[in-house]
């Protein structure tokens, strides 16, 4: 392991979707200061509007960074390295967050590191703030299930920077399906927590819903057909509000179907990766208690440890971005070139810094101007 004390404390920024977050970590991964601002304007619009999200990030970041520094008892000049989510995610938010971090790095004469959002999530269970006093960080290799509004993947985490994708969604992510079904049930957005709450009043066996891909080989996911099935049960009610019990039964049946699919896919993943020592779940949907309980049962049956972050670290946060940077630095990696470009899609298999030369133009001052590559 490399000595990284000269590169800490580090300040990390996360702006890949609709949460603006900042965190400061020391060399051991202790959280010195943390701030998260959830954007509320999207709720009335039924989902995240990328342009509005980017503008909100730009407005929030200066005060959020200052607040995080105050909570850490530090000044900006005390920061040794700046990190930011550079992809995947909504490109507007990625540009705002990474550009702001780069600007701070340049102003302070300190290095910058771009972090993959997915890597942040799947390394979160190793973050000291996640672990209880009686827990230890999961040893490599472990199986990670990432379930959020934008991602749904099974990944074998063999070491920092060594990941094997076993499967992923072929249409909607689990979080997207939760949000869409919640909207059908009149629960608003974000829908996951509201749907889980309503489901407690319902019968998970009340409606016979499909379990897409259940029983088939592999670890891929599909939720669009399940979402459509729920819509068909709602159609007879037309524009009328659903009776409370009907909505509750549909919510419980939907949640049970998703959990059954997840369990089936994880069992396949464990068969493909029998060497794993732990099963970890990360991402916003990891906050769902029914899913957590089912996965914990599977882990126990296989004699492996089950780990899930605290609820506040399941959703997007900057602590996971800072921790991913620390993990990479400990492996001997060096901070990225300041010209590292944000990208909306960034598979974990593409670990090397992404610098599309064809889209970088050198100005008269000798600095590169960053331009997003065309699709």
Instruction: Say if residue 192 carries a ligand binding annotation.
Output: yes
Instruction: Say if residue 260 carries a ligand binding annotation.
Output: no
Instruction: Say if residue 300 carries a ligand binding annotation.
Output: no
Q: Which residue has the tokens 């699709």?
A: 375
Instruction: Say if residue 149 carries a ligand binding annotation.
Output: yes
Structure tokens at 256: 């049970």
Instruction: Say if residue 368 carries a ligand binding annotation.
Output: no
Instruction: Say if residue 288 carries a ligand binding annotation.
Output: yes
Instruction: Say if residue 92 carries a ligand binding annotation.
Output: no
Q: To 5 degrees, how large is the angle CA 59–CA 64–CA 68? A: 170
Instruction: Say if residue 171 carries a ligand binding annotation.
Output: no
Instruction: Say if residue 97 carries a ligand binding annotation.
Output: no
Instruction: Say if residue 151 carries a ligand binding annotation.
Output: no
Binding-site annotation: residue ranges: 117, 121, 146-150, 179, 192, 196, 288, 316
Known binding positions for substrate = 146-150, 179, 192, 196, 288
Bind-site residues for Fe cation: 117, 121, 316
């Amino acid at each position: 392991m490399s000595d990284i004390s000269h590169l800490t404390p580090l300040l990390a920024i996360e702006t890949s979707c609709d949460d603006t977050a900042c965190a400061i970590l020391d060399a051991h991964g202790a959280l010195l200061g943390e701030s998260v601002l959830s954007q509320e304007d999207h709720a009335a619009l039924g989902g995240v509007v990328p342009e509005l999200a980017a503008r909100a990030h730009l407005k929030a970041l200066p005060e959020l960074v200052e607040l995080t520094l105050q909570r850490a008892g530090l000044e900006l000049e005390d920061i040794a390295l700046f990190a930011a989510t550079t992809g995947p995610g909504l490109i507007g938010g990625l540009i705002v967050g990474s550009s702001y971090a780069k600007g701070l790095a340049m102003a302070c004469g300190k290095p910058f590191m771009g972090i993959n959002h997915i890597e942040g999530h799947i390394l979160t269970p190793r973050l000291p703030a996640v672990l209880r006093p009686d827990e230890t960080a999961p040893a490599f290799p472990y199986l990670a299930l990432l379930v959020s509004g934008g991602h749904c993947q099974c990944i074998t985490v063999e070491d920092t920077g060594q990941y094997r994708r076993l499967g992923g969604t072929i249409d909607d992510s689990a979080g997207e399906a939760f949000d869409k079904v919640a909207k059908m049930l009149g629960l608003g957005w974000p829908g996951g927590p509201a749907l889980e709450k309503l489901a407690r009043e319902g019968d998970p066996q009340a409606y016979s819903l499909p379990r897409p891909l259940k029983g088939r080989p592999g670890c891929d996911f599909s939720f669009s057909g399940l979402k459509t099935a729920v819509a068909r049960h709602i159609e007879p009610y037309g524009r009328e509000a659903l009776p409370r019990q009907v909505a509750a039964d549909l919510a419980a049946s939907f949640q049970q179907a998703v959990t059954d699919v997840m369990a089936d896919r994880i069992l396949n993943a464990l068969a493909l990766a029998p060497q794993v020592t732990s099963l970890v779940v990360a991402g916003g949907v990891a906050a769902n208690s029914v899913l957590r309980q089912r996965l914990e049962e599977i882990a126990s049956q296989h004699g492996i440890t089950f780990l899930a972050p605290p609820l506040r670290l399941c959703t997007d946060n900057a602590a996971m971005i800072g921790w991913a940077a620390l993990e990479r630095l400990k492996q001997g990696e060096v901070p990225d070139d300041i010209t590292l470009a944000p990208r909306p899609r960034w598979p974990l298999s593409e670990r090397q810094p992404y610098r599309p030369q064809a889209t970088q133009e050198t100005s008269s001052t000798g600095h590169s101007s960053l331009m997003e590559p065309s699709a």
